[in-house]
């Protein structure tokens, strides 16, 4: 196998996805589609099941009801075609930065010069040149996050699932990484599902935003972002979209304590 | 810091005193009972059984005649002389029969407070080998059993190896009680053993092994077992020791006379006692007796032997030379002079 | 963007707990002082140990408790001359080490793969558990008669060492596999790792910390068992034989010397494993 992807891009379809853990309903009958090469952001209050949704899409968590489809095939287990950036980084502590990033390539059997170049490219992309031989425990949170991103992108999967990937970065780095991500996306055009807290980030990055309710998570609304890129965060139309979305999230959708039952009047 | 120092010293003192307190102290004992140590199924020590036997004493046992009551010390009979010396150290044994080498080694090395007061026998062991072993060199790379590394049997083996030019490091020497040795020899687990009678006679008569060298051949007419006493006990009860020795002498005399007269009643009775004492059949003990020389004297020859043993034990490395001075002796002669106490035997009457 | 600006730690080398603790200290000079004070403490403590030992020995005044001077003398003697068994201490050590290494290595070779499989496949672990739980409590020494008959010298001592080291290695390996964070396994799978690759590249490295604990424990038990196992009688000497025969003839100075050797060697060996671990993980 060589460095190129097996399938260029893929679409994702979430159909009536319900995920229950014992007595807890994390996700309730979620349905939405992500088109080939589309950049979709998922936002919602804390505890609404965004991570669970992402894991279900990756194939790491099985649905209690419903399915996830990738290009006409049901997703039943994880695989390299659905790369994932975890919120907790999940870096391999016994490997260096370089080895972590190259892990997926190793799994594919890529070796030698091709592998080295590939890894170097992604090290560069996330701005970690000079730190290749460091171990995760020697890195700050932000740096670890970058390694996680590079690692997921290095295999150039058809779908990239990202769970708050810029959460540990400072404002400047965050902004830089957002631009960087768009650049990469424009080049390779994978399908990206991006979970975030930040409405602004969602609007800046995504083609479409899916808004989830508090637990049990349901799709409250979807909003296509028509603005041309590069989007200006301070622009009037940007703010209009932001206001609109905040409107959708605000009423009764405040972040609730984890143990509370669903709030009355939840739009679902 | 000072406080910590004081505490440390205090703790050390308490620990030290605790340890010292655990050391056995001579206890007052009813004047007549003696706790006797001896070795397991060792025909050399048959005098102990004889002195306890009413028939041999002609109605009452020799011990009784001399006003001595004996009982087996805790753990007796012992697997080897080294173990017996340990039991001297712990106060279990007051008077004991054991080989001269362990009596020397453990006194000098471990400071066991004993003295030697009489002889028990000379010679009486042998190196037995499996039938297929032809020459001494055949023992190299093989395993040989001894009752213990402090025992005279190991000492004899070291002498044998030295005489034959064998490197002892190439012979694996393991410990085992003599009753187990023949079985292991037959099973092929050991190539030979050195043991006290009747176990060598036993191996020969069953055909399990053959004699490669009797102990007499290794060290002609060698001193073997002695009577040892706990120093403190002897100092507190010299009369009792005298009487014990009188019984021992009488018993030994009886044995010698019985052996000199095969077919006599005494001879038959001695065989019966020996069979009971060693749990070996009649023909085996009869054969075994021919390899033992029973005697009680402490003559110059005895002192010479004792001295030679000590020097040889030092030479072989069982006893570091410094131990002599550590125990307070200026030389080997000084040691022999102070360690062997002939006065009890003299008081008991000539052998 | 600059990652260096984010980097809080001193990038100058292996990060260890101690340097992490000293993260806020000003620099190399302080580190140097810290190191030399540690060495100082160890030296003083060691000295105090010997002084106390000598004091206790002097107070007790029994041949059964020799002091460090006597022990030292016996040690030098044992190292320079053959004893009455015909061996120098070097030969005893070499023989025992040989048996330990073989027995321990055999145990590791069997226990680690077994532990990895059992840790990964619940069924295997459950199936093996009664076998393990019933044999584990049996002291290795109880196997001696069996070992003598079935293996004979010298394998019988090696077998005892094997038994002693097997269980801690196996059990810790199983624990090690279970300790691998499920999230890491998830991440590996989303990167395309499956079965063999997952096992060798995630499970095994992830278990290494526990495995090395198991190895260290196993080595400790191996040491403890070798001394008793050698009393059976083994060719070529050994520390166990040395200790036993020296005790038999009342040479407690030599017994203590043997104990010192065992202590030092045991420490070196387990340090060796820790050292290897530390080097590996940098």
Q: Is C210 on the interface with B (CB under 8 A)?
A: no
Give the CA-trace dihedral at A143, A146, A151, A152, to 10 degrees.
Answer: 150
Two tokens at B76?
Answer: 């007796």
* Distance in angstroms (rounded) separating the CA atoms of residues B329 and B337: 10
A84: nearest CA in chain C? C190
Provide the residue count of chain B.
351
C64: nearest CA in chain B? B110
pLDDT in tens, C189-220: 999 988 889 999 999 999 999 999 999 899 88
Q: Number of Cβ pairs closer than 8 Å across B and C?
A: 97
- What's the rounded mean pLDDT across residues C52-80? 90
Q: Which helix (H) or strand (E) holds B172?
A: strand B172-175
With an 8 Å Cβ cutoff, are A86 and C187 in contact? yes
- What's the rounded mean pLDDT across residues C105-111? 95
| Radius of gyration of chain A, Cα coordinates, nearest whole angstrom | 18
Look at the block and give the residue holding tokens 């499970």. Answer: C203
Give the CA-trace dihedral at A49, A50, A54, A55, to 10 degrees.
Answer: -30
Comparison of pLDDT for C31 and B21, the residue scoring more: C31
pLDDT in tens, A45-70: 877 788 899 999 999 998 999 999 99
Q: Which chains neighbour C (Cβ–Cβ under 8 Å, 3 or more pairs)?
A: A, B
Look at the block and give the residue holding tokens 């993980």. Answer: C281
Q: Which helix (H) or strand (E) holds C54?
A: helix C28-60
pLDDT at C26: 55
Q: How confident is the prediction for chain B on average, in pLDDT? A: 89
Asked whether B and A share 3 or more beta-carbon pairs under 8 angstroms, the answer is no
B chain contacts of residue C87, beta-carbon cutoff 8 Å: 169
pLDDT at A264: 42
Residue of C64, C153, C244 lying closest to B172 (CB–CB): C153
* C-beta of residue A171 within 8 angstroms of C-beta of residue A147: no
pLDDT at B28: 46
Residue (of C220, C233, C240) closest to C96 by Cα position: C240
pLDDT at B347: 86
pLDDT at C8: 42
* C-beta of residue B271 within 8 angstroms of C-beta of residue B287: no
pLDDT at A265: 42
Sheet holding B225-230, edge to edge: B69-72, B33-37, B95-99, B225-230, B114-119
Q: Is the pLDDT of residue B177 over 70?
A: yes
With an 8 Å Cβ cutoff, are C248 and B82 in contact? yes
Between the alpha carbon of residue B193 and those of residues A98, A221, B170, B188, the distances in Å are: 68, 96, 15, 12
* Distance in angstroms (rounded) separating the CA atoms of residues B113 and B232: 8
Query: Most confidently modeled of A140-149, B18-27, B123-132?
Result: B123-132
Q: Is the pLDDT of residue C21 over 80?
A: no
- What's the rounded mean pLDDT across residues C220-238? 81
pLDDT tier at C22, thresholds 50, 70, 90: very low
Distance from CA of C121 to the nearest CA of B (A): 44
Residue of C11, C184, C186 lying closest to A138 (CB–CB): C11
pLDDT tier at B44, thresholds 50, 70, 90: very high
pLDDT tier at A266, thresholds 50, 70, 90: very low
pLDDT at A167: 82
With an 8 Å Cβ cutoff, are C192 and A135 in contact? no
Q: CB within 8 A of C222, min separation 6: which ones?
A: C100, C103, C104, C107, C161, C164, C165
Strands B293-294, B210-214: parallel, antiparallel or unpaired by DSSP? unpaired
* Distance in angstroms (rounded) separating the CA atoms of residues B85 and B73: 12
With an 8 Å Cβ cutoff, are A128 and C190 in contact? no
pLDDT in tens, C235-274: 778 898 899 999 999 999 999 999 999 888 888 877 777 7
Give the DSSP letter of residue B270: H
pLDDT at B271: 94
In the 3-class helix/strand/coil scheme, how is chain A assigned residue by residue? CCCCCCCCCCCEEEEEEEEEECCEEEEEEEEEEECCCCEEEEECCCCCCHHHHHHHHHCCCCCCEEEEEECCEECCCCCCCEEEECCCCCCCCCCCHHHHHCHHHHHHCCCHHHHHHHHHHHHHHCCCCCCCCCCHHHCCHHHHHHHHHHHHHHCCCCEEEEECCCCCCCHHHHHHHHHHHHHHHHHHCCEEEEEECCHHHHHHHCCEEEEECCCCECEEEEEECCCCCCCCCCCHHHHHHHHHHHHHHCCCCCCCCCCCCCCCCCCC
Residue of A3, A60, A115 to mutate for C, most C C-beta atoms under 10 A: A60
* C-beta of residue C103 within 8 angstroms of C-beta of residue C219: no
Residue of C80, C249, C253, C255 to mutate for B, most B C-beta atoms under 10 A: C249
Q: Is the pLDDT of residue B153 over 70?
A: yes
| Whole-structure pTM value | 0.73
Which residues partner with A65 through β-bridges? A18
* Distance in angstroms (rounded) separating the CA atoms of residues C184 and C181: 5
pLDDT at C146: 81
Buried b (16+ CB within 10 A) or exposed e, C253-267: bbbbbbeebbeebbe
Q: Is the pLDDT of residue C123 over 90?
A: yes
ipTM: 0.83
* C-beta of residue A170 within 8 angstroms of C-beta of residue C6: yes
Q: How confident is the prediction for chain C on average, in pLDDT? A: 83
Q: Is C205 on the interface with A (CB under 8 A)?
A: yes
pLDDT at C18: 43
pLDDT in tens, A25-51: 888 888 989 988 899 999 988 777 888
* Distance in angstroms (rounded) separating the CA atoms of residues A89 and A168: 10
Two tokens at C202?
Answer: 């995630």
């Amino acid at each position: 196998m060589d460095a190129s992807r097996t399938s260029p891009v893929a679409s994702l379809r979430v159909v009536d996805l319900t995920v229950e853990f014992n007595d807890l309903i994390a996700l309730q009958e979620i349905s939405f589609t992500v088109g080939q090469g589309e950049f979709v952001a998922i936002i919602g209050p804390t505890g609404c099941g965004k991570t669970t949704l992402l894991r279900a899409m990756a194939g790491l968590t099985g649905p209690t009801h419903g399915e996830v489809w990738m290009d006409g095939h049901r997703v039943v287990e994880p695989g390299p075609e659905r790369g994932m950036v975890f919120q907790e980084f999940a870096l391999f502590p016994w490997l260096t930065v370089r080895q972590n990033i190259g892990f997926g390539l190793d799994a594919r059997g890529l070796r030698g010069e091709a592998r080295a170049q590939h890894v170097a490219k992604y090290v560069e992309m996330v701005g970690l040149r000079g730190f290749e031989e460091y171990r995760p425990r020697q890195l700050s949170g932000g740096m670890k996050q970058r390694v996680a991103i590079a690692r997921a992108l290095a295999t150039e999967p058809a779908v990239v699932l990202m769970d708050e990937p810029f959460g540990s970065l400072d404002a400047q780095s965050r902004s830089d990484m957002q631009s960087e991500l768009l650049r990469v996306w424009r080049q390779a055009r994978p399908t990206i599902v991006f979970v975030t807290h930040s409405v602004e980030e969602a609007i800046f990055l995504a083609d479409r935003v899916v808004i989830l309710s508090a637990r049990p998570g349901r799709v409250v609304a979807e909003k296509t972002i028509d603005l041309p890129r590069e989007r200006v965060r301070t622009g009037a139309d940007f703010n209009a979209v932001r206001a609109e979305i905040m409107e959708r999230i605000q009423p009764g959708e405040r972040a609730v304590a984890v143990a509370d039952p669903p709030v009355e009047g939840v739009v679902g | 810091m000072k406080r910590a120092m004081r505490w440390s010293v205090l703790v050390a003192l308490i620990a030290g005193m605790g340890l010292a307190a655990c050391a056995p102290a001579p206890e007052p004992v009813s004047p007549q009972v003696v706790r006797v140590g001896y070795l397991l199924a060792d025909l050399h020590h048959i005098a102990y059984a004889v002195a306890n036997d009413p028939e041999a004493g002609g109605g009452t046992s020799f011990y009784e005649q001399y006003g001595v009551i004996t009982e087996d010390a805790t753990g007796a009979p012992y697997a080897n002389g080294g173990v017996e010396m340990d039991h001297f150290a712990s106060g279990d044994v007051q008077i004991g029969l054991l080989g001269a080498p362990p009596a020397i080694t453990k006194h000098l090395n471990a400071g066991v407070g004993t003295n030697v007061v009489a002889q028990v026998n000379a010679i009486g062991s042998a190196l037995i080998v499996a039938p297929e072993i032809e020459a001494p060199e055949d023992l190299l790379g093989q395993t040989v059993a001894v009752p213990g590394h402090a025992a005279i049997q190991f000492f004899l083996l070291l002498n044998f190896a030295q005489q034959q030019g064998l490197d002892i490091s190439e012979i694996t020497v393991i410990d085992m009680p003599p009753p187990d040795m023949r079985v292991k020899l037959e099973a092929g687990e050991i190539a030979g053993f050195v043991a006290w009678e009747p176990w060598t006679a036993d191996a020969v008569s069953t055909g399990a092994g053959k004699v490669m060298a009797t102990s007499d051949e290794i060290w002609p007419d060698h001193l073997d077992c002695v009577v040892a006493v706990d120093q403190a006990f002897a100092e507190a009860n010299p009369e009792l020791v005298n009487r014990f020795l009188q019984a021992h002498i009488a018993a030994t005399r009886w044995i010698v006379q019985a052996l000199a007269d095969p077919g006599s009643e005494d001879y038959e009775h001695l065989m019966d006692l020996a069979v009971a004492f060693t749990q070996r059949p009649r023909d085996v003990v009869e054969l075994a007796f021919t390899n033992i020389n029973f005697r009680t004297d402490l003559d110059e020859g005895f002192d010479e032997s004792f001295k030679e043993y000590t020097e040889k034990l030092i030479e072989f490395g069982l006893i570091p030379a410094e131990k002599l001075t550590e125990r307070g002796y200026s030389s080997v002669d000084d040691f022999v002079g102070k360690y062997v106490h002939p006065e009890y035997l003299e008081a008991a009457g000539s052998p | 963007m600059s990652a260096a600006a984010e980097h809080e730690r001193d990038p100058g080398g292996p990060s260890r707990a101690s340097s992490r603790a000293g993260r806020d200290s000003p620099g190399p000079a302080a580190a140097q002082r810290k190191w030399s004070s540690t060495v100082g403490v160890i030296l003083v403590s060691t000295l105090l140990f010997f002084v106390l030992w000598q004091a206790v020995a002097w107070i007790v005044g029994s041949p059964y408790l020799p002091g460090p001077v006597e022990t030292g003398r016996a040690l030098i003697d044992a190292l320079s001359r053959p004893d009455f068994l015909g061996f120098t201490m070097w030969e005893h050590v070499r023989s025992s080490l040989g048996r330990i290494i073989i027995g321990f290595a055999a145990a590791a070779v069997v226990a680690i793969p077994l532990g990895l499989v059992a840790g990964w496949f619940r069924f295997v672990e459950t199936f093996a558990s009664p076998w393990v739980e019933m044999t584990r409590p049996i002291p290795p020494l109880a196997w001696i008669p069996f070992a003598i008959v079935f293996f004979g010298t010298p394998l019988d001592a090696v077998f005892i060492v094997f038994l002693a080291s097997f269980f801690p290695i196996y059990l810790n390996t199983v624990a090690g596999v279970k300790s691998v964070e499920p999230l890491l396994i998830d991440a590996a799978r989303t990167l395309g790792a499956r079965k063999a690759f997952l096992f060798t590249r995630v499970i095994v490295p992830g278990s290494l910390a526990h495995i090395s604990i198991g190895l260290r424990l196993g080595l400790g038990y191996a040491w403890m068992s070798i001394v008793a196992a050698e009393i059976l009688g083994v060719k070529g000497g050994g520390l166990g034989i040395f200790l036993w025969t020296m005790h038999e003839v009342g040479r407690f100075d030599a017994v203590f010397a043997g104990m010192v050797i065992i202590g030092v060697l045991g420490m070196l060996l387990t340090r060796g494993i820790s050292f290897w671990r530390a080097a590996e993980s940098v």
